[in-house]
Amino acid sequence: MTFTSVNPHDPADVLGEWQAAGPTEAAAAASRAATAAAGWREAPAAVRAKALSDAAAALEQRSAEITGLVVREVGKPLSEARGEVARGVAVLRYYAQAALLPDGETIPAAAADQLLMARHVPVGVAALITPWNFPVAIPLWKAAPSLAYGNATILKPASAAAATALALADILGAVLPPDVFQVVLGGAAAGTALIDHPDVAAVSFTGSSAVGRQISRRAAERGCRVQAEMGGQNPSVVLADADLDRAATAIAYAAMGFAGQKCTATSRVIVEDSIYPRFRDRLAAAVEALQVLDPADGKTLVGPVIDPGSRESALAAVASSGGRVLTGGTALDAPGYYLSPTLVELDQPAGPLATEEVFAPVAALIRAGTADEAIAIANAVRYGLVAAVFTSDLGGALRLTRNLEAGMIRVNAPTSGVDFQAPFGGSKESSYGPREQGLAARSFYTESRTVLIVP
């Protein structure tokens, strides 16, 4: 079976057609990875560090090419695509250095002449199942620590980001031993084969909650470690003492930038009652000011959604919300898959816009009587990835950060945006397993060995 990747800005522009791997091909890749892992785990840390550093230099040298590919393949606005590629370079350099950090610790033993230590060793083969919306950053923030800590790594990207994944494989393959990093193109059958393969010791997934739960159960049943970063229904809470203009600008972009196709995008805007009318007008104006068409234009901030099904699903969510559309709510008359940035005022925090991840340039606006009510509304969903609070009372903000049910909380900053050197992950149904990124990644891609040496 073959599949294609098309430009969502211009669906007539086909980036490529590839043969989809099935279970047999995926299993063969896992077996090759297991053979390669035996040598890579013995490579000195300095060798692994140099490989990642060389990959960073190669990605940086090809940054204009890869940026253009990201714009074309997933419709990411040029400014964001540049930033994503730059982040990929930084992630590779970060883990090149992390490979040289201490790989364990010594512990007082029972006798003075004994040596007791705990060392981190690679798990073996890691399978990475990644989405299309961050086709450079997400594969690299998973692959870089996996490789740095000595694992062979298999990437199964979303089909809509196949061309970008192959470009990354070209860069990493040039600096790594054969089969230490592989890309498997395919759908659910290939992913399932990797998850079930006995040589795969760890599975890291980013995608929808429904698929993440299935993968987590399947991997856990055979004792494979699993990490799943799933959906978000992220609130931005605006309190009465906030800088309203600053909040409106930040939230408009957090909700609508890259057509809202980020797990960290703002889905709900919860506003304290006393400032609600003033903020509603500011936010609607900020949303309307965002440039939508042509992601290759440096001024564009929104861009298309990935496919027609995503657009229709978003429009259906708007239609069934029961609220009032303040701006947007229509498909644009353009060749690509465009949806006008949409802000919907809800009377009650109910319906799909207030409870589910829509993954489109759509956000709900909800009124709250008090700050405590705003936090209660923010927490009343099954997701808990990221939340934002806009306020000038930093002491109050610290209190609210203890009460918000989210893995990441940002004060006077948009929900969107990730610091790769910090742990990344959510609570409730947004995450399962250990955190990603930063030094926290080591706990997933390695296991601890306690060693006692008696002379």
Query: Which one of the listed residues 84, 229, 272, 429 is annotated catalytic?
Result: 229
Query: Which one of the listed residues 84, 263, 429, 436 is annotated catalytic?
Result: 263
Q: How far from 307 is each of 9, 169, 445, CA to CA, in Å?
A: 10, 25, 34
- Judge contact between 253 and 302, C-beta under 8 A: no
- Judge contact between 296 and 325, C-beta under 8 A: no
- Judge contact between 165 and 135, C-beta under 8 A: yes
Report the half-sphere exposure of 208 (CA within 13 A, side-chain side): 8
Catalytic site includes residue 263: yes
- What are the b/e assignments for 105-144, b being 16+ CB within 10 Å? eeeeeeeeeeebeeebebbbbbbbbbbbbbbbbbbbbbbb
Tell me the sheet residues that pair with 104.
119
Tell me the sheet residues that pair with 331.
339
Residues identified as active-site: 229, 263
